[in-house]
Amino acid sequence: MHGWCGKILRVNLSSGAVSNEPLDPRTARDYIGARGFGIHYLAREVNPTCDPLGPENKIIMAAGPLTGTAAPTGARYVVTTKSPLTGAITCSNSGGSFPAELKRSGYDAIILEGVSPQPVYLFIADDRAELRPADHLWGRSVPEADEALRAETDPKAKVAVIGPAGERLVLFAAIMNDRDRAAGRAGVGAVMGSKRLKAVVVRGTGEVRLADPQAFKAVNTKYRENFKAKTKDNPPALRTHGTAITSVGTQAHGVFPTRNFQEGMFEGWEAIGGEELTRRFLVRPKPCHSCPIACGRVTRVPDGPYQGEGEGPEYETVYSLGSNCGVDDLAALTKANYLCNELGMDTISMGCTIACAMELVEKGHLAESEVGRPLRWGDGQALVELTRMTALREGFGDVLAGGSQRLAARCGHPELAMTAKGLDFAGYDPRGVQGLGLNYATSPIGGSHMRGDTAYFELLGVPHPVDPLTWEDKPPVVVKWQDLFAVIDAVGLCVFFSVRYLVEQNLMVKPVGITELLNAATGAGYTPEELERAGERIFNAERLFLVAAGFGRAQDALPPRMTQEPMPSGPAKGMVCRLEEMLVPYYRLRGWTPEGVPTAAKLRELGLG
C-alpha cells in the first residue's frame, strides 16, 4: 500500500500480547484513516454501553494516509474511544510530530485493549513493539516523563503520555504528545490511565511510501505556492499572533463567552488577546510537522508569581480560563495553561468547570467554605490553584475533576453547565453564531467546534463572511461542513490549512485539493464526491455508536441559557439559539428519522446497513 502503511498494531494490556494485523484495503478505502479508522474499529470491537473506564473500552490511536508526508499540515492523528466524561464517542485530534513518527515506524494505527496489572509503557521502534514497566514513571509530570522516556529509549523518539491527571482518572484528562500538544477533549487521558498505560513511545526511521512521488511533489508544490502567493499580501494572523488572535472576531461579534456564558463581550478582552500575548510572552512560533502556518506558540512568563515557560495559550484557552472565568490576567491564565499541559488536562473543560463553579458560588448554590477558598469572577490565583488541585484530585479539586456537568448536577443546578452531551462548549456563544449552535448540538462528541466549524464563515470570513445571526440557511451548510471535517480528520491534515487552501472557496467546500494530494499519495483514485461520501459515512457511523450508547434527539440539545435566555447585550443582543428550527431540517437533510436515527435507506446508501 502507499500513503497507508498497511499495518495495525494490537496491544492487549491485560495479557501483554503485542501483535501486528494487516490493514484491510476495503477499510482503508471506505474509512480513509485516523478518525475513520477510529470509528471503524470502535464500532466493531467495543460495546457502546460499556463502562468507559473498564476493561471493555479500547483506545484507537490512528494516523491518516497523509500523516507523515510532506503534504501541508500532514501532522495529525486521532484518538478514538468511549468518553468517560460524556458516555459518548470521542475522537480527539492532535498534531506535533508524534503522529508523523508513528507513520514512519510503519503503523497506521494502534489498538489498545484490556487493562494492565501494573503501570507500563509501549515502545515502538520501527517493526519492534513491546510493553515495558512504567512504575518509575507513574506520578511523573508530562515533561518529566517525556524526558525520562526519551533518555531510556531513544533521544529521537516521540512520546504521547498521560500526566498525573490521567493517572487519577480526571474525566477531562488529555493525552499529551511532544510535551505540549494535546489530544485534549472528553477524557481520552483518563481512559489511558484506567488501562495503566503511561505512554506510547515511537521511533520510526522509515518513510511514508508514496504511489507517485513526482505527482505528489507537483501537487504539494502547487498548493504551497498558492499559500505563499495568497499570504504575501495577507500574512496569516495565526502565524503572527497564534490562535489567540481569534478573540478579535468573537469579541467584535459579541460572542466571546464571558462569565460562564452569561455575556458575550468581555471588558478585559484586549489584555488577554493574541496581540498582547505576542507583545508580552511570545518566544517563537512553533509549527507542527510539515506546517507552513506555524500557529503554535512557545511562550515565557518572565517574572512574577506566574513565572514559567511552555506552549500556549490558544484561543480556546484564552476563552475558557480567561473571559469565561472573568480573568483578564494573561500571566495567570497562561500559568494555568502550562499546568494543564504539564499535568495533562483539557484546558477547555478545566476553564469551563471553574467558570461553572464561579457561577454556582455567585448564585448561592455552592459555598466557598466547601471549595476551601474564595471563588469570585476574575480571580487568577484561584484559577492556578484549582487547576493544580484538580489534576491531583486534592480537596475540592476532586469534585472539579468530574467536570462541569457533574458539578452543576451535584449542586442541584444542571442547567448551569454550558455543555452539549456533557462536553463543554468551545469559545463561541451559539446565541450569536447560529450554525455553530447546531454543530454543538449534533457533533458526535458534544460541544466541540472542530466537527464542522461554521465559525469560519459566520465569524472569521473564510471562505467569505455569512451573517452569524441567521438560522434558516444554516442546516444544509452545517451538514456539508461536518462531512468535510470528517474527511480532513481522516486523511491526517489540519483543518486550519485545509479549509482555506485545499477546498473550493465557497460554502459547499468541495475537497478538491485534498483529493489531489490523497490520490498522489495513495494511488487510490478517489473523486472529491467519493471523499465527501466517506466523510458522511464516518459521521453516520459515529452517530450509530451514539444511538447504541443511548443518545438520541433528547441529547442533541443545548442548555436553556442558549435557547431561552436572550443575549443580554452587544451585536447579538436579544438572540437565542434557534436550535429546534434548525434541528428538524437538519435531520431530514441527514436522512435521519425525526428522532435523530439514521434510516435504513441512508445506512444502505453508505454501506453501513
Partner 1 sequence: MHVTVRAFANLQDYAPGRRTRFELELPDGATVADVLAELRVPPRVEAVLLVNGRRAAPGTAVSAGDEITLFPPMEGG
Q: Show the binding pattern over residues 295-334: x = contacts partner 1 (CB under 8 A), - = does not.
A: x------------------xxx------------------
Give the 3-state secondary structure of residue 562. Answer: helix
Smallest Cα–Cα separation from 542: which of 170, 186, 106?
A: 186
Nearest residue (CB) to partner 1, 140 versus 253? 253
* Residue 485 sits in the site that holds partner 1 (CB under 8 A): no
Q: How far is the CB of 314 from partner 1 (least distance, A)?
A: 8
Q: How far apart are CA 84 and CA 362, in angstroms?
A: 28
* Residue 111 sits in the site that holds partner 1 (CB under 8 A): no
Q: How far is the CB of 143 from partner 1 (least distance, A)?
A: 26
User: What is the total count of residues that contact partner 1 (CB under 8 A)?
Assistant: 45
CB distance 116 to 14 below 8 Å: yes
Backbone torsion region of residue 179, taken as left when φ is above 0, otherwise alpha when ψ lies between -120 and 50, otherwise beta: left
Q: How far apart are CA 338 and CA 140, in angstroms?
A: 15
* Residue 286 sits in the site that holds partner 1 (CB under 8 A): no
Cell readout for 190 is 483518563
**Binding residue for partner 1, selected from 39, 131, 157, 248, defined by CB under 8 A:** 248
* Residue 497 sits in the site that holds partner 1 (CB under 8 A): yes
**Binding residue for partner 1, selected from 2, 10, 103, 241, defined by CB under 8 A:** 241
Q: How far apart are CA 432 and CA 577, in angstroms?
A: 7
Segment interacting with partner 1, rule: CB under 8 A, options 54-62, 140-148, 241-249, 520-528:
241-249
* Residue 500 sits in the site that holds partner 1 (CB under 8 A): yes
Burial of 250 (0-12, 13-18, 19+ CB in 10 A): buried
Q: How far apart are CA 72 and CA 64, in angstroms?
A: 13
Cβ-proximal residues to 413 (8 Å cutoff; 6+ apart), any chain:
360, 363, 365
Q: Show the binding pattern over residues 404-433: x = contacts partner 1 (CB under 8 A), - = does not.
A: -----------------------x------
Segment interacting with partner 1, rule: CB under 8 A, options 49-57, 209-217, 381-389, 449-457:
449-457
* Residue 453 sits in the site that holds partner 1 (CB under 8 A): yes
CB atoms within 10 A of CB 417: 28
Q: How far apart are CA 585 and CA 240, in angstroms?
A: 40
Q: How far is the CB of 492 from partner 1 (least distance, A)?
A: 17
Which of the 8 DSSP states describes residue 173? Answer: B
Segment interacting with partner 1, rule: CB under 8 A, options 55-63, 78-86, 383-391, 458-466:
458-466
Q: Show the binding pattern over residues 216-235: x = contacts partner 1 (CB under 8 A), - = does not.
A: -----------------xxx
Residue 599, phi then psi, degrees to nearest 5: -75, 160
Burial of 259 (0-12, 13-18, 19+ CB in 10 A): middle
Sign (positive/negative) of CA torsion 342, 347, 351, 353?
A: negative
DSSP letter for each residue of 151-170: HHS-TT-EEEE--HHHHTT-
Cβ-proximal residues to 317 (8 Å cutoff; 6+ apart), any chain:
333, 337, 340, 347, 348, 351
Nearest residue (CB) to partner 1, 328 versus 359? 328
Cβ-proximal residues to 121 (8 Å cutoff; 6+ apart), any chain:
131, 132, 134, 137, 149, 161, 197, 198, 199, 200, 201
Nearest residue (CB) to partner 1, 271 versus 409? 271
Backbone torsion region of residue 490, taken as left when φ is above 0, otherwise alpha when ψ lies between -120 and 50, otherwise beta: alpha
Residue type, 155: P
Q: How far is the CB of 497 from partner 1 (least distance, A)?
A: 7
Nearest residue (CB) to partner 1, 121 versus 269? 269
Q: How far is the CB of 311 from partner 1 (least distance, A)?
A: 16
Residue type, 432: G
Q: How far is the CB of 218 from partner 1 (least distance, A)?
A: 24
* Residue 455 sits in the site that holds partner 1 (CB under 8 A): yes
Nearest residue (CB) to partner 1, 233 versus 303? 233
* Residue 18 sits in the site that holds partner 1 (CB under 8 A): no
* Residue 243 sits in the site that holds partner 1 (CB under 8 A): yes
E strand or H helix that includes residue 545: helix 528-548
Nearest residue (CB) to partner 1, 463 versus 591? 463
* Residue 468 sits in the site that holds partner 1 (CB under 8 A): yes
**Binding residue for partner 1, selected from 80, 97, 246, 540, defined by CB under 8 A:** 246
Nearest residue (CB) to partner 1, 46 versus 340? 340
* Residue 447 sits in the site that holds partner 1 (CB under 8 A): no
Nearest residue (CB) to partner 1, 134 versus 575? 575
Cell readout for 471 is 438560522
Residues of span 379-398 touching partner 1 by CB under 8 A: none
Q: How far is the CB of 414 from partner 1 (least distance, A)?
A: 29
Segment interacting with partner 1, rule: CB under 8 A, options 119-127, 238-246, 325-333, 583-591:
238-246
Nearest residue (CB) to partner 1, 184 versus 570? 570
Partner residues linked to 125 by β-bridges:
128, 203
Give the 3-state secondary structure of residue 12. Answer: strand
Segment interacting with partner 1, rule: CB under 8 A, options 15-23, 173-181, 403-411, 570-578:
570-578
CB distance 590 to 444 below 8 Å: no
Nearest residue (CB) to partner 1, 269 versus 592? 269
CA 340 from chain centre, in angstroms, equals 15
CB distance 75 to 96 below 8 Å: yes
Q: How far is the CB of 284 from partner 1 (least distance, A)?
A: 18
**Binding residue for partner 1, selected from 48, 72, 254, 351, defined by CB under 8 A:** 254
CB distance 110 to 11 below 8 Å: yes
**Binding residue for partner 1, selected from 467, 473, 504, 595, defined by CB under 8 A:** 467
**Which residues of this chain interact with partner 1, rule CB under 8 A?**
233-238, 240-241, 243, 245-246, 248-250, 252-254, 270, 274-275, 293, 295, 314-316, 427, 453, 455-456, 460-462, 465-469, 495-497, 499-500, 570-572
